[in-house]
Chain A
């Protein structure tokens, strides 16, 4: 490795063509992944600004700067942007798009043009939603509960819903593309039992994307129909049933939680293995647990409705199933921990993120056990306890995994190393800032602080101030990688094909990879994470 300022010597997917047109009309999965990365970074920053404004406003129990309605719009837009325009697409469309063909030894995804269409649908949906924000916002909450959303609020509900509806088709196509790619495009010898765990988890995610997203589309359509044409579906005043909406909405949105976390689990399996130089403990169990999560994930939706109007016995069934879905997650955590045992652990930034993920995800999962317990949920439901719980999973889990993955594969994506010292500092700041922001919210929740409150009784202020202070640290933590990763594109150390000495096929081609990924067809004869198969020379790219 050397600090070169000269252009990349060999032709690769980044330098082969450089016109704007070549980017906007590309069908290369790697370039599409870059387009998605830029887009979701924009949406993450937008959603982050809303979060920051929320935390500033909550410094005071009586609200200081904005009106009730504006506050409600802030948390609604924060949720809508973060869920549908950052978390759902985050890992699958960026790292997934970039890595799935590389990891299985394929030239591209099965339907490259469809892949580009996915991005355009995503952007069209995003533009609708951003328009809804500029035009005045939405104040339904990201959950669009009826009859509030269909008859009682003035915001741009239909516009925002249209945005989500359109973007949804983008994710359905992405899921479809991945399923077909993983089934049909694997290199010779890349059997199912040799697939990296990242592939297994994205495969499970894709199944959910394809099966669940249409239900969301239908639900949003019904909301629009009732709001626009006053057809009674959910509003009892029109003859509808408001609880029906919740069933439909959570039938999508609970599996969507697994859309948001499964790819993160896949990343963490890769990171733990790569930085302990060890095969993943219990590979079969970890792979199967991803599929189990995808299947069980469809059977737990009504645990969002324990106080909303379902029968006692239905609640018991859903509580039991919610415990069942936690078992495969627990299995993963145990296996990751066991993987570290007797490894040769390198303390690099991605490992920091992976360990941070395990810690935060575990605590997020543990607090999920509180919520799955019926008697306990009655008290903490719709309080800050729930907010803290799902931020531990979504932000503590998914965002940590995303950043960890981004650092780990950065040399492959950009051909450059990120600055290691800055990487560790940022990971540490994010971990501390995150806990400072969200841990107090568990206490707030148990004390009884309801969510979506613009004003609150002054007894809660101490914890809110602490949480807001943490959020400012977290914000700085997120800006750091943005800065140094951009800096590293020009000034980072040039990375070889396999700077970490990892096992995956993606590390056996050059960095950045050539447009068609492999110039020699890979033939796989080893299991995933078989460290004896890795070329000793990290500058060697056997299939480039």
Chain B
């Protein structure tokens, strides 16, 4: 609709490359038209009055106290216009905050001053993000230090990336190309250099890229190794005598807690339970889990969460050594933490 981006080489309008961008631009044009119209109307009135009633032409001012009907009229008209703006904006925002099903999940770690991306298939990138066109993508984002903000102007999307909390942002790119990624929340000395590139590829190219980018194992597989290495498996077993809750099928379930309350087992709950095990105790269990704060970084935490999310059958929880190789092929051992 609005493909015009430059006039004589001067950029006047940003490229639109996501489903949200098109809707956002429509809203922007609507707002511009209405506000521009009203501003122009007021300007014309002021200039007309200023000329028409200049003291040389109109030396005697006519004292007018006011007009209640007029006051009510313009107040009501203003309210109506504002409500249209509100509803349109709120609808789009709601849409932008409602994740579609069957999306590709990518984890994002922001830190001073770089972007790290971890694909579910195990690919890791820095300051570059490859995504397929016409498929919804959900980014689960966290910061390792201060607040950052993920902003891709061509997608018209932005969300702050907070330390200590996962936040999701979803988009569906609809135009193949290379787009700028900015950190838009001031984050210290090199804030303006915390930029990156989003590559939107055809689905075939994306599949090829996934194959050729040298990942050894999926994020869940890395998480599984950590689960073993950190000895989580000794307590979080599948049998009924386990000292910790069984994690199979946990993700997305409602968990009953010790104090009678319930909590939804989402990414943030799992993260909190690893770092602050005593914050929420599952009903029927003792607060005996040690904290892993300081022992694992955000990237490993995300892998652990991916693994726990992937637990669908009891068989997956059996000790690693007794099982055959994971579907994506074994990953060469990296000694990231001490062996159990």
Q: Which of B54, B89, B157, B180 has the most CB of A within 10 A?
A: B89
Give the residues from 83 to 111 in chain B that come closer than 8 angstroms, CB to CB, to chain A. 83, 85-86, 88-97
**With known contacts A153-B188, A342-B61, A345-B53, A373–B38 Cβ distance under 8 A:** no
Interface size classification for chain B: 35 or more
The CA of A319 and the CA of B46, in the complex, are separated in Å by: 30
CB-based contact B159/A152 at 8 Å: no
Tell whether B190 is near chain A: CB-to-CB under 8 Å: yes
Query: Interface-forming stretch among B162-170, B204-212, B248-256?
Result: B162-170
Tell whether B183 is near chain A: CB-to-CB under 8 Å: yes
Type the 1/0 row for B18-30, where 1 means its CB is closer than 8 Å to any CB of A.
Answer: 0000011001100
Contacts of B49 in A (CB 8 A): 337, 340-341, 343, 345
The CA of A463 and the CA of B13, in the complex, are separated in Å by: 12
Contacts of B38 in A (CB 8 A): 366
Contact of B186 among A323, A333, A343, A452 (CB under 8 A): A452
Tell whether A531 is near chain B: CB-to-CB under 8 Å: yes
A500 → chain B, closest Cβ, in Å?
12
CB-based contact A377/B89 at 8 Å: yes
CB-based contact A345/B54 at 8 Å: yes
CB-based contact A342/B53 at 8 Å: yes
CB-based contact B42/A358 at 8 Å: yes
Contacts of A68 in B (CB 8 A): 189-193
Tell whether B62 is near chain A: CB-to-CB under 8 Å: yes
Tell whether B325 is near chain A: CB-to-CB under 8 Å: no
Interface size classification for chain A: 35 or more
Q: Which of A235, A344, A355, A381 has the most CB of B within 10 A?
A: A344
Query: Interface-forming stretch among B65-73, B129-137, B222-230?
Result: B65-73
**With known contacts A152-B146, A342-B53, A375–B23 Cβ distance under 8 A:** yes
Contacts of A281 in B (CB 8 A): 64-67
Tell whether A55 is near chain B: CB-to-CB under 8 Å: no
CB-based contact A338/B42 at 8 Å: no
Tell whether B45 is near chain A: CB-to-CB under 8 Å: yes
Contacts of A489 in B (CB 8 A): none
* Contact count A vs B, C-beta below 8 Å: 275
B285 → chain A, closest Cβ, in Å?
23
**With known contacts A242-B147, A375-B93, A460-B11, A237–B163 Cβ distance under 8 A:** yes
Contacts of B31 in A (CB 8 A): 369-370, 373, 376
Contact of B162 among A309, A366, A369, A447 (CB under 8 A): A309
Tell whether B234 is near chain A: CB-to-CB under 8 Å: no
Type the 1/0 row for A231-247, where 1 means its CB is closer than 8 Å to any CB of B.
Answer: 00001110001110000
CB-based contact B189/A453 at 8 Å: no
Contact of A147 among B43, B146, B149 (CB under 8 A): B146
CB-based contact B153/A379 at 8 Å: yes
Tell whether A542 is near chain B: CB-to-CB under 8 Å: no
Contact of B71 among A152, A282, A376, A460 (CB under 8 A): A282
Tell whether A535 is near chain B: CB-to-CB under 8 Å: no
Contacts of A235 in B (CB 8 A): 163
Query: Interface-forming stretch among A171-179, A271-279, A514-522?
Result: A271-279
**With known contacts A68-B193, A446-B14, A342–B62 Cβ distance under 8 A:** yes
CB-based contact B46/A355 at 8 Å: yes
Give the residues from 262 to 280 in chain A that come closer than 8 angstroms, CB to CB, to chain B. 276-279
CB-based contact B70/A338 at 8 Å: yes
CB-based contact A379/B90 at 8 Å: no
Contact of A379 among B86, B149, B156 (CB under 8 A): B156
Contact of A378 among B53, B74, B96 (CB under 8 A): B96
Tell whether B1 is near chain A: CB-to-CB under 8 Å: no
CB-based contact A148/B79 at 8 Å: no
The CA of A346 and the CA of B55, in the complex, are separated in Å by: 6
A77 → chain B, closest Cβ, in Å?
14
When C-beta atoms are compared, the residue in chain A nearest to B79 turns out to be A327
B16 → chain A, closest Cβ, in Å?
11
The CA of A307 and the CA of B180, in the complex, are separated in Å by: 19
CB-based contact B39/A337 at 8 Å: no
When C-beta atoms are compared, the residue in chain B nearest to A346 turns out to be B55
Tell whether B336 is near chain A: CB-to-CB under 8 Å: no
Tell whether B288 is near chain A: CB-to-CB under 8 Å: no
Give the residues from 330 to 374 in chain A that come closer than 8 angstroms, CB to CB, to chain B. 330-331, 333-335, 337-338, 340-347, 355, 358-359, 362-363, 366-367, 369-370, 372-374
Contacts of B12 in A (CB 8 A): 443, 447
B10 → chain A, closest Cβ, in Å?
5
Tell whether B75 is near chain A: CB-to-CB under 8 Å: yes
Tell whether A539 is near chain B: CB-to-CB under 8 Å: no
Give the residues from 443 to 480 in chain A that come closer than 8 angstroms, CB to CB, to chain B. 443, 446-448, 450-457, 459-460, 462-463
Contacts of B167 in A (CB 8 A): 309
Contacts of B149 in A (CB 8 A): 307, 382
Contacts of B28 in A (CB 8 A): 370, 376, 379, 446
- 12 other contacts beyond A147-B146, A381-B158, with CB at 8 A cut-off? A69-B189, A236-B163, A276-B53, A282-B70, A282-B71, A284-B66, A319-B89, A373-B31, A375-B88, A379-B153, A443-B12, A450-B192
Interface residues in chain B, defined as those with a beta carbon under 8 Å from any beta carbon in chain A: 10-14, 23-24, 27-28, 31, 35-36, 38-39, 42-43, 45-46, 49-50, 53-55, 58-67, 70-71, 74-75, 78-79, 82-83, 85-86, 88-97, 112, 145-147, 149, 151, 153-154, 156-160, 162-165, 167, 180, 182-193, 195
Q: Can you offer 28 A-B residue contacts whose CB atoms are under 8 A?
A: A141-B186, A145-B186, A147-B146, A148-B186, A237-B164, A242-B163, A282-B71, A309-B160, A320-B90, A323-B82, A330-B74, A342-B58, A343-B49, A344-B55, A347-B54, A359-B39, A362-B39, A370-B28, A372-B85, A372-B89, A374-B90, A375-B93, A378-B24, A382-B151, A383-B184, A453-B182, A457-B180, A462-B10
Interface residues in chain A, defined as those with a beta carbon under 8 Å from any beta carbon in chain B: 68-69, 72, 139, 141, 143, 145, 147-148, 152-153, 235-237, 241-243, 276-279, 281-285, 306-309, 312, 315-316, 319-320, 323-324, 326-327, 330-331, 333-335, 337-338, 340-347, 355, 358-359, 362-363, 366-367, 369-370, 372-379, 381-383, 443, 446-448, 450-457, 459-460, 462-463, 531
Q: Which 7 residue pairs spanning A and B have beta carbons closest together? A: A448-B153, A375-B92, A236-B164, A373-B89, A374-B93, A366-B35, A282-B66
